[in-house]
Amino acid sequence: MDSISTSTLLITLVLLILFSAFFSSSETGMMSLNRYRLRHLAQSKHSAARRVEKLLERPDNLLGLILIGNNLVNILASAIATVVCIRLFGDLGVAVATFGLTIVVLIFGEVTPKTLAAMYPEKVAYPASIVLKFLMVPLYPFVQLMNGITGLLLKLLHLKPGGDHNLSSDELRTIVNEAGNLIPQHHQDMLLSILDLDKVQVEDIMVPRSDIYAIDINDDWKVIVRKLIHSPHTKVLLYRDNIDDVVGFLHARDALRLLAKEQFNKSSLLRAVKEIYFIPEGTPLNVQMAKFQRNKERIGLIVDEYGDIQGLVTLDDILEEIVGDFTTSMAPAPSDEIHPQPDGTFLVEGGVSIRELNKEMEWHLPTDGPRTLNGLILEYLEDLPQPNISMRLAGYPIEIVEVEQNMVKLARIMPAWYQPTSDEE
């Protein structure tokens, strides 16, 4: 290099630092791209996105190319800087070149370009892909050689390159939650509800057996007719004496058809009932929705391991878990079972679902045991309480207000932030 002028070496050094900045920013920009947006753009025939996706098909080759280029220009820059500094500073030139070039490369060749690339990955990666694709052709043998040596070293260390790049359901939830304004809030709620279907079981949303609107076929005929007329549902469950002895579901249109033919009597009603579809207790909602679809059913009775009926669930109930309430439910809405009081407490009916109570009030009562508030209180006390009994359950002060028919009918719940007035103290 003795024959090359100092000014020429300085210009070459500046160019090498610019090349270093290019390779550093290319690496960060390529690795920071949103892969799902990139895939969408590539499928939309975006030329730059398709070029980048092609390079990223073999990230080991891409990284090998970038590292070869980056290290090559940095080492060459170090040699030129040493020559220039020796000419300018004599024996101190080596030290000046070492510390000076380190600072320059860190600022202008590493930190600044990588920060910009992380902030604007598409603006960096798409133009850079043109140069990288061109450089891949002449440098491909060196890239393969380096990757081969690296692979051999990993094999000697009993390590395997690569990994699982599939997203888990929890990672999908994070993506949906962080979508912000890109996805409307209602759509985010629906997507999260779909992801949570496997965590919710049919008994979490069922209509309990005590709330099922059903007709005893052994009742007087006038009582049966009156109940059919006042039924709030198009399908009514028929049973004999006890709801565990179910007959089947009667559709309102079948009853009207019999009435039109003047064949409206008990025997014709029994012939018109549909076969019962039973659902095992503990079935996840996503599994049950698929079974409803496969068996072409819309309603079923939930039974426990002994065959006793626990409740009723419909396809509409599962869909409402995803999109929110949109039909008239057999059970009262949580708001109808939660009564705010002037003092900031809430009178809550014992039959309310704990899951729905937590969802509406943003509370954190335990949901890994009983399904209702009454069941939760009874499990905690291990006895049937008397009115005016108070307790603290999961951090929430609860007072028993009304007990009837061996169950807590009404309880007063104080929110976690509740502070009693001086009169209450």
Query: What mean pLDDT do residues 134-163 have?
Result: 82
- The whole-chain average pLDDT of the chain stands at 84
Percent of the chain residues topping a pLDDT of 90? 19
The pLDDT of residue 425: 42
**pLDDT of residue 163 exceeding 80:** no
Q: Is 263 helix (H, G, I), strand (E, B) or coil?
A: coil
Prediction pTM value: 0.59
**pLDDT of residue 112 exceeding 50:** yes
Q: Which residue has the tokens 């309603």?
A: 299
The pLDDT of residue 162: 58
pLDDT confidence tier of residue 422, bands split at 50, 70 and 90:
very low
Summarize pLDDT for 368-404 with one digit per residue, the tens.
Answer: 878 888 888 998 888 888 888 888 888 889 999 999 8
Query: What mean pLDDT do residues 242-266 have?
Result: 83
pLDDT confidence tier of residue 302, bands split at 50, 70 and 90:
very high
* Highest mean pLDDT of the ranges 85-99, 121-135, 329-343: 121-135
Joined tokens for residue 26: 């290319």
Residue 376: other Cβ atoms inside 10 A = 23
In the chain, where are the structural domains located? 6-157, 199-323, 334-417
Of the candidate ranges 96-100, 115-119, 134-138, 321-325, the one whose mean pLDDT is the lowest: 321-325
Domain 334-417 has CATH 3.30.465.10: yes
Query: What mean pLDDT do residues 18-41 have?
Result: 89
d(CA 320, CA 191): 13
Joined tokens for residue 34: 């949103």
State the alpha helices, DSSP H only, in 207-308. 221-229, 252-260, 266-272, 285-295
The pLDDT of residue 335: 66
pLDDT confidence tier of residue 331, bands split at 50, 70 and 90:
low
In the CATH hierarchy, which top-level class contains the domain 199-323?
alpha beta
Query: What mean pLDDT do residues 115-134 have?
Result: 92
pLDDT confidence tier of residue 423, bands split at 50, 70 and 90:
very low
Q: Which residue has the tokens 């999961």?
A: 394
Domains 199-323 and 334-417 are alike in CATH topology: no
d(CA 19, CA 114): 13
Count of alpha carbons within 13 angstroms of residue 205, beta-carbon side: 27
Count of alpha carbons within 13 angstroms of residue 256, beta-carbon side: 6
**pLDDT of residue 332 exceeding 60:** no
Q: Which residue has the tokens 């960060």?
A: 28
Strands, sheet with 396-404, edge to edge from the N-terminal-most edge strand: 338-340, 346-349, 407-413, 396-404, 390-393
Joined tokens for residue 110: 């590493």
d(CA 259, CA 163): 67
Summarize pLDDT for 76-87 with one digit per residue, the tens.
Answer: 999 998 888 888
Higher pLDDT, 167 or 118: 118
Joined tokens for residue 356: 């729905």
